[in-house]
Amino acid sequence: MPTTSPSPHTDLFTKLFTESRQALHRYILRFVGSSETAKEIVQEAFLRTYRERDSVTTLRAFLFSTARNLAANEYRHRRTVERGTEGDLGDSDVKLECESLEAGLIRDERNRLIQQAINRLPPQCRAAFTLRMFYGCSYKEVADRLGISAKTVEKHIARGLRETHGFLTKRYEINGHDHG
């Protein structure tokens, strides 16, 4: 039987792994503070990206987004565990806990809506917007990473801001009318 050569997607993935592994590890390390945890998250993010490689348009953006979500899940899990080990709470602690729970729920809802808004963007626009807004990349860095011009990045960022803002405004207007 003849040997089959790797698919173009596999070659792209290998290149992505080589070029992104260290940068992704440094990025995730800022969130989780543990090199070992960061390594685990990076491995899981690459695994998930590899599994989805045939259906994902922008592998790098998907990889970084997946890793960021895994880091956020790890952070939430760690906070839940830390809260669970605090022992008995007095009345004032319970009140503070309820207030922080409410603030946390509001924050989670806001983040969920922002994620919905971003997910509605076209893939390359979403990738550029995510790299700029959440990873703090310069326009030039985004252009280099995505292989597009800085002017195109500028247009993607403007579109991302406009569409995300429009989506959120519409959602909050609807929610505001429901309660009014």
Q: What is the pLDDT of residues 14-31, one digit of tens each?
A: 888 888 889 889 888 887
pTM of the model: 0.43
Topology of domain 121-180 in CATH is Arc Repressor Mutant, subunit A (1.10.10)
Q: What is the CATH number of domain 1-87?
A: 1.10.1740
Q: What is the pLDDT of residue 6?
A: 53
Ranges of each domain in the chain: 1-87, 121-180
Distances (CA, A) of 105 to 35, 70, 76, 110: 29, 19, 12, 8
Answer with the residue of higher pLDDT: 180 or 129. Answer: 129
Predicted confidence (pLDDT) at residue 156 exceeds the cutoff of 90:
yes
Domain 1-87 identical in fold to domain 121-180: no
CA atoms within 13 A on the CB side of 117: 22
Q: For residue 176, what pLDDT is reported?
A: 47
Rounded mean pLDDT, 72-96 = 62
Place of tokens 């960021």: 68
Q: Express each pLDDT in 110-135 by its tens digit.
A: 777 888 888 899 999 999 988 888 88
Q: Which tens digit of pLDDT belongs to each residue from 69-79?
A: 888 888 777 77
User: How much is the pLDDT for 121?
Assistant: 92
Other Cβ atoms within 10 Å of 168 Cβ, number: 15
pLDDT of residue 97: 56
